[in-house]
Structure 1
Amino acid sequence: MAGLDPGPAVPVWLVEDDLGCIICQGLLATPATLPCGHSFCRECLKGLWAAGSTRPPRSCPTCRVSAPASLQLRKNTLLQELVDKYSRALREAAAQKSIPEVGRELAELVEQLVDIVRSLQSQRHLPESRPDNEGSTPSMSMSSSGGVDLSLASSKPVTSNTLERKTRDILHDLEEIQKKLQENFTWKEAFEEQPQVEVQEAPYSSSCPLPDQSHPAPKRASRFAQWAICPTFDLRSHSYSLEVSKDGRAVTVSRCPQTHLGSHERFVTCQALCSQAFSSGQQYWEVDTQHCSHWAVGVASWGMKRTQILGRTRDSYCVEWKGTSQLSAWHMVKETVLGSDRPKVVGIWLDLQEGNLAFYSVADQETLLYECPVSASSPLHPAFWLYGLNPGNSLTIRPVRV
């Protein structure tokens, strides 16, 4: 549509997660696409294969499909162009963020100019003073009758009407500019600082009085409250790109990768397990996912290979938000698409008495997302995957309402 600002030269549906390499957790650099369709940085993939840390030696780090030994890793030019466009759009967006600051500085400069012009204008109307006489000097003239006529000389300075008019015009123009700048930036900042509250209107009924908002109804306790646990992250398993909070209940993509000593127990990708392991009984816990753009939560055995992805093995199960309006469940290396609604809090119900695993979207009540049979042949740990492209992304194990 003509006249609209086209914005950054990148599709609105494209997010950083779509252009990432799960090996280095960064934007793709010289991307290479395997026959299975997954893409990685060419050098990252070559390094991973050369290290011999995958089995079979040449396989996809995501889906484990074997790659031919004769495969040549060629650059995916279309994907590289998308990465380049996305990077340019990010730089343009960063540059645009400085525009409000320039506007505020301009407003301050105009305010100073207005003060200067007003000061000059007021000084022009002050009576002139002479160094030899601070008062008014009487003037003498001869009257027609021969007498002396004494009168005070005018103390009003002689001014130019043209100069006075120009000064008024300049002051008026500056005040108009100042007003527009203040309206534009002051109002915009005030609007952005206000919390954006989504209001849902309920149908009006004269027979139903409105509820007393000063005494909101208490939140209902979870129906899983008696089985609720609050597990903590295991410090041995999480990848170098993650850091765990002091209370052990939040895991965050680090802005500076951690420098732990090398260990075969650590995941290659941004994954982590909890210390608690379950081989019997019934347990329930909840995970706050609001601060992570791409995540998976579920359970896995401690023996899950550290080069594999949660849900893509026979000893791990999860629900996953892809960051592209798709929620999926992974069970026995098979994906089931659940829909496009993103749960803000996920509840995990592990019933090893019945051999059942269920995932819930938790709001005012628990809504079932997916359930599947689960085997307890090996103890299962709460398991997590955070797509590692966005430093600050986090998952938090939150207390269950009781």
Structure 2
Amino acid sequence: MNFTLCNILELQDIGGRDKWEQILAETDQEEQTQHAGRAKVDGLMKRLEWLKAEIKKTEDTLSAELNSDQAYEDGLGICDSSIVLMDVSSSSLDSDASSCYAGRSFSLTSEDHQELPSQSEEESSQEFVEEAPENSESLFEDADLTPSAGAQYCSRDSAEASPHAEFVELSFSPKLGNKRLVFDTESHTVETQLGHQARTSHGRFDACQWMAKQKFSEGWVYWDVDTTFSTGWAVGVAYPNLMRNERLGRTSSSWCLEWSSGQLNAWHNNIKTYVKHSNPNGIRVILDMAKGQLSFQSLCDSLLELYSFQVGFTGPLIPVFWLFGLTRNALKFPRH
């Protein structure tokens, strides 16, 4: 018996080619459903691992602070200082994820999720900004924006400015930013706007970044940036010819310090240099045009220098900032 011919005849009896195509379509749909299910599970597992790492990091920080305070008290005979411990767990990260920053709320509610654009709109508006926190979209896309436990912006009260550098107060024009960024003049904050709140104009960049109005061709200047309420950010400078489709630090004409994927890196000409330091909640950017030096210091560590570029600048430089654009993030620029 020729089983192949028997199967062909049997298939013909139950519907022929149409039946065969139906079977193939059902098989493809089943495989796609299984693939989507696996992808969702993988995303949830990555988010769980990230949350566990954040909990462990917070516990280690609190434990170190407690031991340091206890040792200090034992040495000086101080017995009356009060130490408050925060019990950080996965439930507290989920339930206590709402914070108010400079009188503005940055938590994502269920209503915010409903207001996100449809898939077709999202594909056209996200540009290539999703690449930024590399392989970390699943970690951030549902996360509410709250500062990590103990994360406090360290102002200039804890660190004196360079004696000869001049502080500059940065200003921003809508024409120089991405359509999903807005500048609040009252709080002096650049922040992302999601869904229907985004501007309709395309702005200066495809990526979720903004160029300040100031342009420096000489002198020794500095500005401060509060990064407490941002899950992904970059601060730096670029020549005015930075193109619409170019990312800060990924070109030969831009330099930056960036926090993404739980790592601090310096970027220039698309070359990444790892910086061994935790996420600094306050950054001081110092630009010395005469010496051709661009430095990044931590305001929370007595102006500890995180990284420095030595460059023979050939033209004026403009401050540029990038924010992770899939969640609500903010960079504040403190006034002096």
Q: TM-score, normalised by structure 1?
A: 0.47
Instruction: Give the counterpart of 2:224 among 268, 273, 286.
Output: 286
Asked if 1:249 corresponds to 2:188, the answer is: yes
State the match for 2:330 in structure 1.
Answer: 394
CA RMSD of aligned residues (A): 3.5
Deviates more, 1:366-375 or 1:342-351: 366-375
Closer, same or farther: CA 247–338 of 1 in aligned 2, 3 Å: same
Asked if 1:228 corresponds to 2:167, the answer is: yes
Instruction: Give the counterpart of 1:360 among 273, 290, 297.
Output: 297
5+ residue gaps, structure 1, are: 1-75, 91-195
Q: CA deviation at 1:83?
A: 5.2
State the match for 1:84 in structure 2.
Answer: 40
Instruction: Give me the whole-angstrom Cα distance separating, in 1, the residues matched to 2:232 and 2:33.
Output: 25
Asked if 1:259 corresponds to 2:199, the answer is: yes
Deviations 1:4-28 (A, max 9, x none): xxxxxxxxxxxxxxxxxxxxxxxxx
Q: CA deviation at 1:274?
A: 0.6
**In structure 2, the residue corresponding to 1:339 is in which secondary structure?**
coil
Closer, same or farther: CA 82–297 of 1 in aligned 2, 3 Å: farther
Q: CA deviation at 1:86?
A: 6.6
Q: CA deviation at 1:81?
A: 5.9
Structure with the greater alpha carbon radius of gyration: 1
Q: Any residues of structure 2 matched to 1:260-275 within 5 Å, and which? A: 260-262=200-202, 266-275=204-213
Q: CA contact under 8 A between 2:225 and 2:284: conserved in structure 1?
A: yes
Instruction: Give me the whole-angstrom Cα distance separating, in 1, the residues matched to 2:295 and 2:179.
Output: 30
Q: CA deviation at 1:374?
A: 2.7
Instruction: Give the counterpart of 1:370 among 307, 310, 334.
Output: 307
Closer, same or farther: CA 261–342 of 1 in aligned 2, 3 Å: closer
Q: TM-score, normalised by structure 2?
A: 0.55
Closer, same or farther: CA 268–362 of 1 in aligned 2, 3 Å: same
Q: CA deviation at 1:306?
A: 1.1
Report the AA paired with residue 335 of structure 1: K
Asked if 1:300 corresponds to 2:238, the answer is: yes
Closer, same or farther: CA 83–293 of 1 in aligned 2, 3 Å: farther
Larger helix fraction of residues: 2
Q: CA deviation at 1:254?
A: 0.2
Asked if 1:328 corresponds to 2:268, the answer is: no
Instruction: Give me the whole-angstrom Cα distance separating, in 2, the residues matched to 1:228 and 1:375.
Output: 22
**In structure 1, the residue corresponding to 2:256 is in which secondary structure?**
strand
Percent identity reads 30
Instruction: Give me the whole-angstrom Cα distance separating, in 1, the residues matched to 2:254 and 2:160.
Output: 26
5+ residue gaps, structure 2, are: 1-31, 47-61, 83-155
Q: CA deviation at 1:79?
A: 9.6
**In structure 2, the residue corresponding to 1:348 is in which secondary structure?**
strand
Q: CA deviation at 1:312?
A: 0.3
Q: CA deviation at 1:279?
A: 0.7
Q: CA contact under 8 A between 2:179 and 2:202: conserved in structure 1?
A: no
Q: CA deviation at 1:375?
A: 3.8
